[in-house]
Chains A and B, each alone.
Chain A
Amino acid sequence: MKQGDVLLALAANFLILSLLAFGGANAVIPEMHRQAVEVRHWMSDTEFVQLFAIAQAAPGPNVMVVTLVGWRVAGLAGALVATAAMIGPSWVLTYAVFRAWDRFKNRPWCMAIQNGLAPVTVGLVASSAFLLARAADTDTVTVLLTAGTAAAAYWTRINPLWVFAVAALLGVAGLI
């Protein structure tokens, strides 16, 4: 594909994802993965999970993974296009809605929508975890690392950066 076509494809993908991102960036990981790895073959499964890991370990919002994917596919222009496309539509929507929010936040239909969307988000985030773990967990040690991190993050208030640092050191030391 030519550079222009790639940028268009990135923009189209993320413009749609932006409006589907109920539950934040981690809920659209499965769709990003499907598009980038399976449909468009922009990168391998392993590359995708590694970009995700870099975005998680770096400071900043979770949505940075979008910037990285765009960057990987089409350089700096790709990073800018992907990020802008991911933020743009939801930005307009948030800006438009938040002024009216006070009026309807306690209405029954509003609560019903919130309660109804919550389990959908859980299903999507669980799918993200599954797809990422399937790409990252290549042997027993990595499976244990995923399970251990999940347990630590669920039951303690440990800063994720420490976990990532320890994991990286184990990796460099060749233990993984």
Chain B
Amino acid sequence: MMISAVAFGGVLPWARRKLVEDRGWLSEREFLDTLALCQFLPGPNIVNLSIAVGGRFRGIPGSIAAFAGIMGLPCVIVVGLGALYTRYGQLAPVQNALLAVSAAASGMILAMAGKIAAPLFQRRPYESLPVIAAVFVAVALFRVPLIWALLVAAPASVAVSWWRRA
């Protein structure tokens, strides 16, 4: 378990395939439950997932192993890329490529916002739209510090969803 935890890295669908389909460590249901918890808590989702799954099987050492497995190699790669960036980042072709990838990466995040917004619009449009708009205006346009935005928006939005619970 400890060693093979190292094998799982990368993005969410991949983790699901490894944990549920290939290894059979978790049932589909358990995976979704654990994932829901990880999205509920603060922190990077996939990292939380590795901590929870590792912890479930081997306690604290398991969660440390799973975490090291998921972060270790990417950390090395990304720092290596960072070093290349410092060294060659100013060259014109590299600048152009980075500019293009930046534009594409922004589009990726936009699509992600759309994907999590779509089910909300369908289920609870009147509750969610004002919250989304208010958070966007405060954080993106007025650059309100995140902590204030969260302290105001999160309790308000949770209160609304409490009153309007089915």
Contacts and interface: CB of A to CB of B under 8 A. Distances in A.
Interface of A: 16-26, 28-31, 34, 38, 49-64, 67-68, 71-72, 76, 79, 83, 86-87, 89-91, 93-95, 97-98, 101-102, 105, 108-133, 135-138, 142-143, 145-154, 160, 163-164, 167-172, 174, 176
A79 B127 CA distance: 40
A55 B109 CA distance: 13
Given A76-B79, A172-B97, A123 B47 contact: no
B113 A167 contact: no
Interface of B: 9-11, 33-34, 36-48, 51-52, 55-56, 60, 63, 67, 70-71, 73-75, 77-79, 81-82, 85-86, 89, 93, 96-117, 120, 124, 127-129, 131-136, 139-140, 143, 145-147, 149-150, 153-154, 157-162, 165
Helix, strand, loop or mixed for chain A's interface?
Answer: helix
A144 to B, nearest CB: 9
B52 to A, nearest CB: 4
Given A126-B140, A146-B110, A163-B108, A67 B47 contact: no
Contact of B77 (A17, A59, A119, A137): A59
Contacts of B106: 49, 129, 132-133, 136-137, 146, 149
Given A150-B114, A151-B107, 16 more contacts: A34-B146, A38-B143, A53-B102, A54-B81, A63-B46, A71-B79, A87-B67, A97-B41, A98-B34, A98-B37, A108-B165, A117-B40, A122-B113, A124-B139, A150-B111, A153-B112
18 contacts: A25-B44, A58-B74, A61-B11, A68-B78, A68-B81, A79-B79, A93-B42, A95-B51, A95-B52, A113-B158, A122-B135, A123-B153, A132-B106, A138-B99, A143-B103, A152-B107, A168-B101, A171-B96
Contacts of A154: 111, 114-115
Give the one of A29, A67, A117 with max B CB within 10 A: A117
Contact of B10 (A56, A59, A133): A59
A61 B110 CA distance: 18
B141 to A, nearest CB: 8
Contacts of A112: 158, 161-162, 165
